[in-house]
Amino acid sequence: MIRGHLSWAGGQLLALCLVCGSAAAESEPAASASSTATATPEARPAIEKTVDKIGTTIGEAIDDTIGAKTVGKIDDVHEVEARYFGLFFEKIDRVFGEEYVEDRERKLQLRTGFETVFNNHGESTDTKAKIILRVPLPAMKRRFNVFLDIGEAADQLGDVTSPNVTASEKAFSLAAGIVRKIRDDLEAGLKLKLFKKADSLVTIYPFVRFEVHPAPMRYFFEQQVIWESNNSWSTLTDFQVDRRFGSLIFLRFRTTVAYSFEDPGAAIAHGLITRRSLYEDNGLSFELWMEYNTAKDDPTTTTDDTVVYGQLRLRGRLWRKWLEYELRPIYSFPIATDRKSFFGFFISLSLVWDSYLGGGAVSDAALNR
């Protein structure tokens, strides 16, 4: 990196010398004709080679003066700083269960509990019981993370005060995934799910993720290509831009685009999110979202409403390290439709047993759980 800058500086120095030489030559007519003949297109490659050679020579001289170890330390400091900023965003996103964080961690986890959603229309009070088991497989040179997810959920349990389990729709899913870190800013993976949907036995989706942390920013991009056994294809794109403020808060602009080859248009969501770390294992997230479909005027589009909503998420560990909660009030504003705005409230309570395994970078906060 230092040599690159010095090469540029050497090139500028040489160019300055050439300009000065040309200016001096203009005072002598005979010399002017000679210099004009020299500055031909055929001579430019030779000049560029000379510039590169001078820059390389100067860079090597500087390295010999300050020492190769000093140059290495400078690069190490930049790498540590970038990793530190990356872990800052991961620490807060871990509280909210972001998928990219979960996929990188090598932990054995059992999660069981319930989720309930209320709204003031009284038309839907839905409760879901859940149990999820994640089993990581042995690490391979710390560049791979392989895991199995086993989950069972009972949806549509009816009224929350007297859930009718016998009338519910039970769904069981089995998933396997592999994530490979290609380099510090790039990772790729493949996931396979069984029984994700009632009409699809198998779902396969490869993905690629790109992430950089030029302080105090973070840029994240993920692209998924999804195939389902009912012969349907779709894609999911996720783009995030984060800005850190202080040691506890960051602001995120997030856009997701879901496109199905069988349906018209694409489902797009834009979000403005502010997240803050609270205590050790708790977080607060204030989110403003707008969701719409680009083909909302098409009569075959099922989700044709543009919806703006705000939600406040309070999530973390409560009382004990193995007791996880989330409280989320939501207010929605359907736009250009007969539907009225409404208020909702989401409650989740889970028992979590997790154990981090060797072979991956684990934060101190995670190890102390």
pLDDT in tens, the chain (369 residues): 434 444 444 444 444 444 445 444 444 444 444 444 444 555 556 666 676 666 667 666 666 666 555 555 555 544 444 444 557 888 888 888 888 888 888 778 888 888 888 776 546 677 778 788 888 776 555 567 777 787 754 433 333 332 333 333 445 678 889 999 899 899 999 999 887 666 678 899 999 999 999 989 999 999 999 999 888 999 999 999 999 998 889 999 999 999 999 887 899 999 999 999 987 789 999 999 999 888 766 655 545 678 899 999 999 988 888 899 999 999 988 887 777 888 888 899 999 888 876 544 444 444 444
- Identify whether 329 is preceded by a cis peptide bond (ω within 30 of 0): no
Which residues does 20 contact at the CB level (< 8 Å), separation at least 6? none
Q: Which pLDDT score is estimated for 63?
A: 63
Distance CA(363)–CA(176), nearest Å, equals 25
In whole angstroms, what separates CA 317 from the centre of its chain?
A: 23
- Both tokens assigned to 110: 């059992």
CA 294, 297, 302, 306 torsion: positive or negative? Answer: positive
Which residues, 6+ apart, have CB-to-CB distance to 59 below 8 Å? 2, 3, 4, 6, 7
Dihedral sign (CA 49, 50, 56, 59):
negative
Domain 84-367 falls in which CATH fold?
Answer: Porin (2.40.160)
Q: What confidence score (pLDDT) does residue 35 get?
A: 42
pLDDT at 43: 56
Instruction: Give the three-class secondary structure for 166.
Output: helix
Task: Collapse the DSSP code of 194 into the 3-class scheme (helix H, G, I; strand E, B; otherwise coil) and give the result.
Answer: strand
pLDDT at position 366: 46
Boundaries of CATH 2.40.160.40 in the chain?
A: 84-367
pLDDT value at position 304? 62
Give me the pLDDT at residue 82, please.
46
Select from 64, 103, 76, 56 the least CA-distant residue to 205. Answer: 103
In contact, 154 and 166? CB cutoff 8 Å: no
